[in-house]
C-alpha cells in the first residue's frame, strides 16, 4: 500500500471512522470516473479541492459533491481571503497527495477544511483515498467530522 493511502487509512482509524479502502484498478481521478468505478451517482462522489490563499499562501481544502462546481467567491468568504487554484506540484509537495488522489483526510499538516452542505444529504458518499485508483465509502456526516470540516455553502 502506498504511503499516501496508508496515511488515509491511519487518519480514518485515528478519527474513529471505519473505512475499507478499495483499489479499483482503473482511474478514479475525476468524479465521473469515480462514480463509474464505485457504481454510484456523480453527486455521491466527494471532490477534495485544494486552493491557495492569495494573501498568505495558506492551502484550503474544499469538499464538494461530485456534480457541483466550487463558487470561488463563496469559498473565499469561508476562507477569509481571495483564493487561487493551487499549483499541482505544490499540492503534492505540501500535502503528499497528487491531484486525482487528494483525500479529505490524512494530512500531516492540518489544513482549514470546508464541506458543502449538499454532501450531507446522501446516505453514503465515496472519496479519494490517496491514490488515483483508491477510494473509500463513508456516511457523510462521519466523513465531515473526521475531516474536521466546517459546513458552508460552497457550490455555484
pTM of the model: 0.95
Q: How far apart are CA 152 and CA 37, in angstroms?
A: 28
Q: 8-40 pLDDT, tens per residue? A: 999 999 999 999 999 998 888 889 999 999 999
pLDDT of residue 54 exceeding 80: yes
Q: How far apart are CA 71 and CA 53, in angstroms?
A: 15
Mean pLDDT, range 82-105, rounded to an integer: 93
Pairing of strands 45-53, 83-85: antiparallel
pLDDT of residue 100 exceeding 90: no
Mean pLDDT, range 104-115, rounded to an integer: 94
Q: Sketch out the chain's domains with CATH numbers.
A: 3-152 (3.90.960.10)
Residues 6+ apart with CB under 8 A from 42: 31, 32, 35, 66, 67
Within the chain, residue ranges assigned H as helices are 3-14, 31-38, 72-79, 88-95, 140-147
User: Is the pLDDT higher at 63 or at 29?
Assistant: 63
Helices (H) and strands (E) in the chain — how many of each? 5, 8
To 5 degrees, how large is the angle CA 91–CA 138–CA 79?
Answer: 40
Mean pLDDT, range 117-142, rounded to an integer: 96
Mean pLDDT, range 127-148, rounded to an integer: 96
Q: How far apart are CA 130 and CA 71, in angstroms?
A: 25
pLDDT number for residue 25: 85
Kindly state the DSSP code that residue 46 receives in the 8-state scheme: E
pLDDT number for residue 135: 96
pLDDT of residue 1 exceeding 80: no
pLDDT number for residue 108: 84
Q: 65-74 pLDDT, tens per residue? A: 999 999 999 9
Amino acid at each position: 500500500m502506498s504511503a499516501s493511502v496508508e496515511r488515509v487509512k491511519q487518519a480514518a482509524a485515528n478519527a474513529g471512522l471505519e473505512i475499507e479502502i478499495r483499489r479499483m484498478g482503473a482511474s478514479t481521478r475525476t468524479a465521473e470516473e469515480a462514480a463509474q468505478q464505485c457504481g454510484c451517482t456523480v453527486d455521491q462522489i466527494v471532490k477534495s479541492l485544494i486552493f491557495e490563499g492569495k494573501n498568505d499562501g495558506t492551502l484550503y481544502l474544499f469538499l464538494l459533491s461530485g456534480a457541483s462546481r466550487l463558487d470561488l467567491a463563496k469559498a473565499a468568504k469561508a476562507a477569509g481571503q481571495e483564493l487561487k487554484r493551487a499549483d499541482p506540484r505544490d499540492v503534492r509537495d505540501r500535502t503528499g497527495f497528487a491531484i486525482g488522489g487528494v483525500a479529505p483526510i490524512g494530512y500531516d499538516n492540518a489544513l482549514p477544511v470546508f464541506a458543502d452542505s449538499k454532501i450531507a444529504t446522501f446516505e453514503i458518499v465515496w472519496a479519494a483515498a490517496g491514490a488515483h485508483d483508491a477510494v473509500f465509502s463513508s456516511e457523510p456526516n462521519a466523513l465531515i467530522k473526521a475531516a474536521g470540516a466546517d459546513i458552508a455553502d460552497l457550490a455555484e
